[in-house]
Amino acid sequence: MAIQAVLDKLERAERAFLGTEFLAPIVGEGRVQVRIAGVVCQLRVVSQAERKREAVQPKLVNNTWAILRPIAIGEAVVVREATLQEVARYLALFPQVRLVLVQKRGQLWLALPAQRGDARFRLEGPIELWLAAEEVERFDGVEAAFDGRSFWYVQRDRRSDPAVSAYLRERFAQSPIGDLPPDVATLHKRGLSREQREAYAWLCEQLKLAQRDRVEVRLAEALGHAEARLHSYLERGEVYVVKYEVDGRERISTIRRADLSVMTAGICLAGQDQRFDLTSLVGVLREGERDQQLVWVGDEGMDEDLYWQIHPPEEL
């Protein structure tokens, strides 16, 4: 087909579109997408008041399904909110998928598949689910429709047992060790599926990563105040084994989680290690280097057990 014929076809389709009303979700920045003669077009949603250039303009309806009318190629106005029946009929046109909700993020939910055997979808990691009902909660099972680009909430999954979802929420809210929920291996509930276990495990891992990020920031800031640099750390019960750099030389110290006070400095402080925190310890290291009076404890020097026998921890 010649390019002019294609353009003529698109122009006719655009003129026909301007005389219609259509259903669409309004999310984000108040824009909707439509397909005209096979071409995806984006329209900005404007209010009737804005169209008439009125001084006082009502806030646009957002995060909802609406019936809209195009007023130009690139702009549309809201005629009214769509009814539940209209939305249901529209979503029924698309493939349906079962999901488990895991985390709310702004205006959407992150969700994981509730049925791994569904060959129609290849979902790697969480997907974004839009316009979920306000009353849904984490670990609830829901049904969604996929329009080829986005997933839209349809309804709660009638095949999902709400008692299992409530159990997972209750367990996830418990933090007996290290401020993290119980491990997925401890979950025991009749009807708990493999996919629900995977959703719980994924969320625990995200919490663990977020917690580790917070710890890294905390340690890096404490060292940064003394112009030292964090390399890495290991978490062992109530302490951190911190590897860091002071003036180009790597150091290792054991620090209490609660207040970053020193448990084992890595140098001989005659049992007075706990008088220092991570920041002030860096100054002690620099001073000792300058005076050449450092006695190393640990891998680079005196055995740690021997050190504490010679210098029992000082009582504060």
State residue 151's pLDDT score.
95
Assigned domain for 198 exists = no
Range of the domain at 18: 3-83
Of residues 258 and 60, more confidence is placed in: 258
State residue 31's pLDDT score.
73
Please state the length of the chain. 316
State residue 79's pLDDT score.
87
256: its two tokens: 């209490």
Residues 145, 98: contact at Cβ < 8 Å?
no
Q: Are 236 and 259 part of one and the same domain?
A: yes
**Cα atoms in the Cβ-side hemisphere of radius 13 Å centred on 152:** 21
State residue 56's pLDDT score.
42
Assigned domain for 10 exists = yes
Q: Number of structural domains, the chain?
A: 3
User: What Cα–Cα distance (Å) separates residue 306 from each residue in 255, 301, 310?
Assistant: 19, 11, 6
State residue 250's pLDDT score.
84
Residues 25, 43: contact at Cβ < 8 Å?
no
State residue 146's pLDDT score.
93
State residue 316's pLDDT score.
41
Q: Which of 135, 200, 124 is nearest to 165 (CA)?
A: 200
Q: Are 98 and 158 part of one and the same domain?
A: yes
pLDDT digits (tens, 9 = 90+) for 17-27: 677 888 888 88
Residues 33, 24: contact at Cβ < 8 Å?
yes
The phi, psi pair for 163, rounded to 5°, reads -70, -35
Average pLDDT score over residue span 139-168: 94
Assigned domain for 220 exists = no
User: What Cα–Cα distance (Å) separates residue 299 from each residue in 54, 252, 256?
Assistant: 76, 9, 20
The separation between the first and the last C-alpha atoms of the chain, rounded to the nearest angstrom, is: 88
State residue 175's pLDDT score.
65
Of residues 160 and 311, more confidence is placed in: 160
Q: Are 109 and 36 part of one and the same domain?
A: no
83: its two tokens: 């009814």
Assigned domain for 144 exists = yes
State residue 77's pLDDT score.
87
Instruction: Extract long-range pairs of 277-285: CB within 8 Å, 24+ residues apart.
Output: 277/222, 278/219, 278/222, 278/223, 278/242, 278/253, 279/222, 279/223, 279/225, 279/226, 280/226, 281/253, 282/223, 282/226, 282/227, 282/228, 282/246, 283/226, 285/246, 285/251
Q: Are 12 and 43 part of one and the same domain?
A: yes
Q: Give the separation between CA 104 and CA 11, rounded to whole angstroms.
A: 42
Q: Give the separation between CA 66 and CA 21, rounded to whole angstroms.
A: 10
Name the least confident of 22-31, 84-93, 243-252.
Answer: 22-31
State residue 63's pLDDT score.
82
Assigned domain for 152 exists = yes
Of residues 104 and 11, more confidence is placed in: 104
Is the pLDDT at 109 greater than 50? The verdict is yes
**Cα atoms in the Cβ-side hemisphere of radius 13 Å centred on 82:** 22
178: its two tokens: 């290290």
Is the pLDDT at 98 greater than 50? The verdict is yes
Q: Give the separation between CA 153 and CA 166, rounded to whole angstroms.
A: 20
State residue 305's pLDDT score.
55
Assigned domain for 249 exists = yes
| DSSP one-letter code for 57 | -
Q: Which of these three, 83, 109, 141, is where a domain ends?
A: 83
Q: Give the separation between CA 194 and CA 196, rounded to whole angstroms.
A: 5
State residue 273's pLDDT score.
72
- CATH number (domain holding residue 22): 2.40.50
Average pLDDT score over residue span 193-200: 94
State residue 57's pLDDT score.
42
Q: Which of these three, 172, 203, 238, is where a domain ends?
A: 172
Assigned domain for 202 exists = no
State residue 55's pLDDT score.
44
Amino acid identity for residue 216 in this structure: E
Is the pLDDT at 170 greater than 50? The verdict is yes
